[in-house]
């Protein structure tokens, strides 16, 4: 049985249909890269899975149970965590306070404050600093740590490297490496296709709200993913056909 199953999901922003008939499954322990151009529907899809955006049609199943209509706090309790684009930390609260607030909303498990500090050692000296005073890399580490404090079975990371310098991105991914190799189930939205193909076991590419390419990362070339990403080639033509 898959950990996550999405069935014919439709999601709207008013009159705009941002996600159109999306279906896929993710097995426990997989790392899946969700790629696509800006506006493809990636963030909306993750928010719908997390319960942060209402679904128009379709179903979301987690561990075999339907959670389509469950509010986001209940999905956190089931083991679904989202690191949102833009981090969305409580700027006036300290790093430790941001982390402990998430701990109160989550489940019991191995991820404690000490475990997060070990995974992201750059936060140790900043644990009592206000989140609004942190660097971009420190804020991203805090946002990831906050999600981990809920002890999720599924961790969704939206645009991990967005707005960060190459050096900081390398540091963030070095800290994430333990997660990527530990059997944690991850959906990763990443603008860097080379990095996404390197760290993920499977790739889902979205175009105009639909999944237009799906496959094992090892079986896909960068050219195939790029064609689907921009709506070129057979995959893209089928996606935009009336």
CATH number of the domain where residue 16 is located = 3.40.50.300
Non-local CB neighbours of 92 within 8 Å, separated by 6+ positions: 130, 131, 132
CA–CA dist 208, 36 (Å, integer): 9
Which run of H or E residues covers position 215? Answer: strand 210-216
Using 50, 70 and 90 to split pLDDT, how confident is the model at 174?
confident
Non-local CB neighbours of 38 within 8 Å, separated by 6+ positions: none
Beta strands per DSSP E along 91-181: 154-158
Using the predicted structure, report yes or no on whether residue 209 has a pLDDT greater than 60.
yes
Using the predicted structure, report yes or no on whether residue 236 has a pLDDT greater than 60.
no
Contact 154, 185 (CB under 8 A): yes
Percentage of the chain surpassing pLDDT 70? 96
Contact 31, 44 (CB under 8 A): no
CA distances to 71, 100, 163, 210 from 199, rounded to whole Å, are 31, 29, 20, 23
Q: pLDDT digit string (tens) for 17-50?
A: 999 999 999 999 999 999 999 999 999 999 999 9
CA–CA dist 33, 190 (Å, integer): 7
Q: pLDDT digit string (tens) for 57-112?
A: 999 999 999 999 999 999 999 999 999 887 789 899 999 999 998 887 778 888 99
Domain that holds residue 124: 4-240
Task: Tally the domains of the chain.
Answer: 1
If we measure between CA atoms, which residue out of 43, 34, 41, 48 comes closest to residue 20?
41
């Amino acid at each position: 049985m898959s950990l996550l199953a999405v069935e014919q999901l439709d999601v709207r922003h008013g009159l705009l249909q941002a996600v159109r008939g999306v279906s896929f499954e993710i097995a426990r322990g997989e790392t899946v890269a969700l790629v696509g151009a800006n506006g493809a529907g990636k963030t909306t899809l993750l928010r719908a899975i997390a319960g942060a955006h209402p679904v128009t049609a379709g179903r979301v199943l987690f561990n075999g149970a339907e959670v389509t209509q469950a509010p986001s706090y209940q999905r956190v309790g089931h083991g679904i965590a989202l690191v949102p684009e833009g981090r969305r930390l409580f700027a006036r609260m300290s790093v430790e306070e941001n982390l402990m607030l998430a701990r109160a909303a989550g489940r019991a498990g191995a991820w404690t404050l000490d475990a997060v500090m070990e995974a992201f050692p750059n936060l140790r000296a900043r644990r009592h600093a206000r989140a609004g005073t942190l660097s971009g890399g420190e804020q991203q580490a805090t946002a990831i740590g906050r999600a981990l404090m809920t002890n999720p079975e599924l961790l969704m990371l939206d645009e991990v490297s967005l707005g960060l310098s190459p050096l900081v991105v390398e540091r963030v991914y070095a800290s994430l490496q333990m997660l990527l190799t530990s059997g944690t189930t991850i959906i990763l939205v990443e603008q860097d296709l080379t990095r996404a193909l390197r760290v993920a076991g499977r790739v889902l590419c979205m175009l105009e709200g639909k999944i237009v390419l799906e496959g094992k990362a090892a079986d896909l070339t960068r050219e195939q993913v790029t064609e689907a990403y921009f709506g070129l080639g057979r995959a893209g033509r089928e996606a935009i056909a009336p």
